[in-house]
Amino acid sequence: MLLWWWSAVFLMFIHGSRAQQTYVDNKQLACEENATTALGYVCNSPATSPTCQSYVTFRSQPPLYNTPSSIATLLHSNPNDITALNNFSSNSATIPANTVVVVPIRNCSCSGGYYQHNASYVRQSGNETFFTIANNTYEGLTTCQAMITQNTLDYRNLVVGDNITIPLRCACPTATQTAAGIRYLLTYLITWGDTFTSMSETFGGVDVQSILDANELSPTHVIFPFTPILIPLTTVPTRINTSATPATPPAPPTIPVAPSGGGSSSNKWVFVGVGIGVGLLLIVSLSGFLVWFFRRRKIQNQRILPPAKHTPPKVMIPSESKSWSVSSEGIRIAIESLTVYKYAELQKATGDFREENRVKGSVYRGIFNGDFAAVKIMKGDVSGEINILKQINHSNIIRLSGFCVHQGNTYLVYEFAENGSLSDWLHSTKNTKNKDSVLGWKQRVQIAHDVADALNYLHNFITPPYVHKNLKCSNVLLDSNMRAKITNFGLARSVDDNEDGELQLTRHVVGTFGYMPPEYIENGLITPKMDVFALGVLISELLSGKEATTTTAATTTGSPEKDEEKDVVHVQLSEKIKEVVGGENVREKLAAFMDGDLKGEYPLELAYSMAEVACKCVAADLNDRPHVAEVFVVLSKILSSSEDWDPSDELEHSRSLSHGR
Ligand SMILES: *[C@@H]1O[C@H](CO)[C@@H](O)[C@H](O)[C@H]1NC(C)=O
Ligand SMILES: *[C@@H]1O[C@H](CO)[C@@H](O)[C@H](O)[C@H]1NC(C)=O
Ligand SMILES: *[C@@H]1O[C@H](CO)[C@@H](O)[C@H](O)[C@H]1NC(C)=O
Ligand SMILES: *[C@@H]1O[C@H](CO)[C@@H](O)[C@H](O)[C@H]1NC(C)=O
Ligand SMILES: *[C@@H]1O[C@H](CO)[C@@H](O)[C@H](O)[C@H]1NC(C)=O
Ligand SMILES: *[C@@H]1O[C@H](CO)[C@@H](O)[C@H](O)[C@H]1NC(C)=O
Ligand SMILES: *[C@@H]1O[C@H](CO)[C@@H](O)[C@H](O)[C@H]1NC(C)=O
Ligand SMILES: *[C@@H]1O[C@H](CO)[C@@H](O)[C@H](O)[C@H]1NC(C)=O
């Protein structure tokens, strides 16, 4: 697709010439899968340097690998070199746990197409696998895949005493790097809390861009702990200045964002122009290009502190134990743009919260000065939602107009969305069979476009940026013109929301099954790509009319996961869309996937483009998912093409709709 090609060209343009080494991502985790990046750094300049001096880092690991001698044996290096370079007192000096030791590797050479330095390891106990040896013993300096490829041993049938070849990752500078004055490449092991900036500082101010280039990374790429990354060095490395970090299990890592337009070179304001359709030029600012890193919650060391940032003043609503009248007063001062209602006003507007005014759950319809508004009753601390919504001004995000604090409850007053939630339109109408309440093609595209517009705003246009975290069909409301507005910011997180200016990676996974991406379910990782995943599911729902997760009685087909107690299968729409877009007979599969309520009234080519975007959005690897800004551009194009599609038909359709409900 042209746009994807465009963004690829664009990325190459901003990152300049990169052809260096590819970062392993988290591919080293999947031993059975054969990702080439997991096999090693490719020999890309065999003529200039068949072997070279290189360096790796290793974190002191008591009780076995915490002296220069034992580390040298493990890594097949020279203990004297290690002692001298790191200024240890002797080859048998005890190195405090987790100290970063720089290990010189004299002969990094090419074998089998990969740069490496061979060490050997004798399997010590029955619970060691290639994965634990690579990840835990060698701390990520090798991968199980490289070990599988280079050992004749069957990795599934190892015995104690097996002598295993360990291909350690190292690399030699390319001709381009040499020309730029780079003499050595050091393999550094990423840990919790590292960022491109912190790594730059650790190695005496190495240019961040040169680190990115050396690993073919963009500033927005997520990097993972226990993976190697290359640091290009112009001089021999020196002892690394880190105080030993305690060997306690790491606190949940966090992913802060560099401030938009800040001083860091890994952080840019970029504008990209993309020509769309006939004469339509969309300028999309990929501003606030987010820089995602892992960060440690507790910072032991100044060097990994993020750059200072300006956080907007926060409104804290005390918890219920505190005095509510005082807090209401505090909020009144802080939020001048919001109306603070008296409880009596809400009672009057909602007819004393009469049942017939109840929209859904704890949301009531009220009339304020002749206009409808929604009143949502919330218990406890809702400062999060208020803090976010008070600073947001976007037509596709539900507007908070005021609030009231009364007897331990907070009443939030929102703009009213006449047409209810998207899930009502897509999913419940199936039962009521009201023909007027079926969304037409153009409306569906418009809704997807509106939601992408809102997410783009949240991710890229406000400071601090927000991740919605709970995007789903029932959190998308439709106004009188069937334009979408996203709501329910109860789970939204600022990407620098706590006192350290950092977002914690959560161990407390909440959300809606079917919309949550794998990295969130497995690791609690929160990035904007989480919303992109949910957007992909939402687009799939708009296309198919099916729910994010459907449960059906088990048939003989084995593929979907089986529930243990009953014979039911959970079908994830995010998996289904991949089946539709991939493989053969895409047309037939897509036509079968599309919502029957559309009665075939949709342009198949555009439906395919939508399905394709949705499929990219739900990629299992978050780095394979597009940025929401890119999705927004594609949806804009589909929307403008849909405008041209069969207008007379659509006009009739939308007329009947505007009288519906
Ligand atoms: C990985 O692929 C290579 C060739 O592409 C093959 O020789 C090797 O056996 C594969 N390894 C695994 C574990 O599939
Ligand atoms: C190396 O260690 C010694 C003491 O062990 C110390 O006096 C010296 O300053 C250190 N050198 C460097 C460069 O840190
Ligand atoms: C490693 O390099 C040294 C010189 O630094 C050389 O004498 C030795 O033969 C090399 N070993 C291998 C295995 O290439
Ligand atoms: C593996 O077994 C050894 C003892 O044989 C034990 O010390 C070690 O903790 C075990 N490792 C794991 C990961 O279970
Ligand atoms: C890899 O090793 C690190 C450090 O020992 C450990 O914290 C982490 O859990 C390991 N990863 C896996 C997937 O076991
Ligand atoms: C490393 O070991 C592998 C497997 O034993 C071998 O094929 C390769 O030539 C060795 N490489 C070096 C540089 O010694
Ligand atoms: C393991 O093999 C390597 C070479 O492949 C050899 O240098 C080393 O001595 C062996 N280790 C043991 C304990 O046999
Ligand atoms: C290491 O720390 C010392 C003092 O703590 C400082 O003088 C020195 O410049 C630091 N070196 C680097 C490379 O940051």
- The tens digit of pLDDT for each residue in 618-649 reads 999 888 999 999 999 999 999 988 888 764 55
What residue type is assigned to position 27 of the chain? K
- Work out the average pLDDT over 21-47: 78
Tokens of 122: 């004798």
160 vs 225: which has the higher pLDDT: 160
* pLDDT confidence band for 247 (50 / 70 / 90): very low
Q: Report which protein residue has its CA nearest ligand 1's atom 1.
A: 34
* pLDDT confidence band for 73 (50 / 70 / 90): very high
Half-sphere exposure (Cβ direction) of 515: Cα atoms closer than 13 Å: 20
Cα diameter, the chain: 86
∠ CA 314-528-633 to the nearest 5 degrees? 115
Taking CB atoms and a 6 Å cutoff, what residues make up the pocket around ligand 2? 87, 89
Q: What pLDDT does 248 receive?
A: 36
* Strand, helix or coil for residue 205: coil
Alpha-carbon span 522 to 240, nearest angstrom:
33
Domain with CATH 1.10.510.10 in the chain: 435-473+504-558+568-659
Q: What pLDDT does 595 receive?
A: 92
| 390 pLDDT more than 60 | yes
Q: How far is the CA of 242 from the centre of ligand 8 (A)?
A: 9
Alpha-carbon span 11 to 25, nearest angstrom:
18
How far apart, in Å, are the Cα atoms of 204 and each of 59, 195, 207, 226, 427?
A: 19, 14, 9, 22, 58
- Work out the average pLDDT over 119-136: 89
Q: What pLDDT does 494 receive?
A: 56
* pLDDT confidence band for 13 (50 / 70 / 90): very low
295 vs 466: which has the higher pLDDT: 466
∠ CA 59-63-69 to the nearest 5 degrees? 65
Mean pLDDT is lowest, of 31-40, 80-89, 302-311, 575-584, for 302-311
Taking CB atoms and a 6 Å cutoff, what residues make up the pocket around ligand 3? 106-107
| 230 pLDDT more than 90 | yes
pLDDT tens-digit readout, 193-211 = 778 888 888 888 888 889 9
- Work out the average pLDDT over 171-195: 87
Q: Report which protein residue has its CA nearest ligand 1's atom 2.
A: 34
Taking CB atoms and a 6 Å cutoff, what residues make up the pocket around ligand 5? 135-136, 226
Q: φ and ψ at 242, to 5 degrees?
A: -120, 140
Mean pLDDT is lowest, of 60-64, 400-404, 592-596, for 400-404
1-5, 77-81, 505-509: which has the highest mean pLDDT? 77-81
Question: 77, 120, 151: which to mutate for ligand 7, most atoms within 8 A of CB?
Answer: 120
Query: Which residues have a Cβ under 8 Å from the Cβ of 631 and sit 6 or more positions away?
Result: 452, 532, 535, 613, 616, 617
279 vs 591: which has the higher pLDDT: 591
- Residue found by looking up tokens 């960022």 in the block: 195
First to last CA, the chain: 38
Alpha-carbon span 341 to 402, nearest angstrom:
7
Half-sphere exposure (Cβ direction) of 78: Cα atoms closer than 13 Å: 11
> What's domain 314-415's superfamily in CATH?
Phosphorylase Kinase; domain 1 (3.30.200.20)
Mean pLDDT is lowest, of 208-222, 273-287, 471-485, for 273-287
Q: Are 529 and 517 in contact (CB under 8 A)?
A: yes
Alpha-carbon span 650 to 644, nearest angstrom:
10
C-alpha gyration radius of the chain: 28
* pLDDT confidence band for 433 (50 / 70 / 90): very low
Question: 54, 77, 106: which to mutate for ligand 3, most atoms within 8 A of CB?
Answer: 106
How high does pLDDT run on average in the chain?
74
Q: What pLDDT does 137 receive?
A: 92
Sign of the alpha-carbon torsion through 195, 197, 202, 208: positive
- Work out the average pLDDT over 357-361: 82
Q: What pLDDT does 553 receive?
A: 67
- Work out the average pLDDT over 403-416: 84
129 vs 293: which has the higher pLDDT: 129
Domain with CATH 3.30.200.20 in the chain: 314-415
- Work out the average pLDDT over 545-560: 67
| 614 pLDDT more than 90 | yes
Mean pLDDT is lowest, of 207-216, 252-261, 390-399, 609-618, for 252-261
Question: 81, 107, 172: which to mutate for ligand 3, most atoms within 8 A of CB?
Answer: 107
224 vs 599: which has the higher pLDDT: 599
Q: How far is the CA of 103 from the centre of ligand 4 (A)?
A: 26
* pLDDT confidence band for 492 (50 / 70 / 90): low
- Residue found by looking up tokens 């007819």 in the block: 351
Q: What pLDDT does 429 receive?
A: 54
541: left (phi over 0), alpha (psi -120 to 50) or beta: alpha
Q: Report which protein residue has its CA nearest ligand 5's atom 4.
A: 136
Question: 85, 87, 95, 239: which to mutate for ligand 2, most atoms within 8 A of CB?
Answer: 87
pLDDT tens-digit readout, 364-383 = 888 888 888 998 888 766 77
- Work out the average pLDDT over 526-546: 93
Q: What pLDDT does 328 receive?
A: 43
- Work out the average pLDDT over 49-62: 88
Taking CB atoms and a 6 Å cutoff, what residues make up the pocket around ligand 4? 125, 127
Q: How far is the CA of 416 from the centre of ligand 6 (A)?
A: 69
Q: Ligand 1 within 6 A of 31 CB?
A: no
Q: Report which protein residue has its CA nearest ligand 8's atom 5.
A: 241
Q: Report which protein residue has its CA nearest ligand 6's atom 4.
A: 150
Tokens of 302: 């100044």
Q: φ and ψ at 281, to 5 degrees?
A: -115, 120
The ligand placed nearest to the CA atom of residue 110 is 6
Atom of ligand 3 at shortest range from CA of 53: 5
Q: What pLDDT does 323 receive?
A: 28
Alpha-carbon span 576 to 590, nearest angstrom:
11
Atom of ligand 5 at shortest range from CA of 29: 13
CA-based nearest residue to 150, from 38, 71, 226: 38
* pLDDT confidence band for 325 (50 / 70 / 90): very low
DSSP 8-state symbol, 113: T
- Residue found by looking up tokens 């790594």 in the block: 199
Alpha-carbon span 511 to 521, nearest angstrom:
9
Share of the chain above pLDDT 90, in %: 27
Alpha-carbon span 470 to 491, nearest angstrom:
6
Q: What pLDDT does 363 receive?
A: 85
Atom of ligand 6 at shortest range from CA of 118: 1
∠ CA 82-88-89 to the nearest 5 degrees? 130
Q: What pLDDT does 592 receive?
A: 93
Q: Report which protein residue has its CA nearest ligand 2's atom 13.
A: 87
Alpha-carbon span 487 to 351, nearest angstrom:
24
Q: Report which protein residue has its CA nearest ligand 4's atom 9.
A: 127
Which letter, b or e, does each residue of 399-414 get, where b requires 16 or more Cβ atoms within 10 Å of its Cβ? Answer: bbbbbbbbeebbbbbb
Q: What pLDDT does 227 receive?
A: 86
Tokens of 560: 């979907």
Q: What pLDDT does 332 receive?
A: 41
Q: What is the pTM of this model?
A: 0.53
The ligand placed nearest to the CA atom of residue 111 is 6
* Class for the domain spanning 435-473+504-558+568-659: mainly alpha
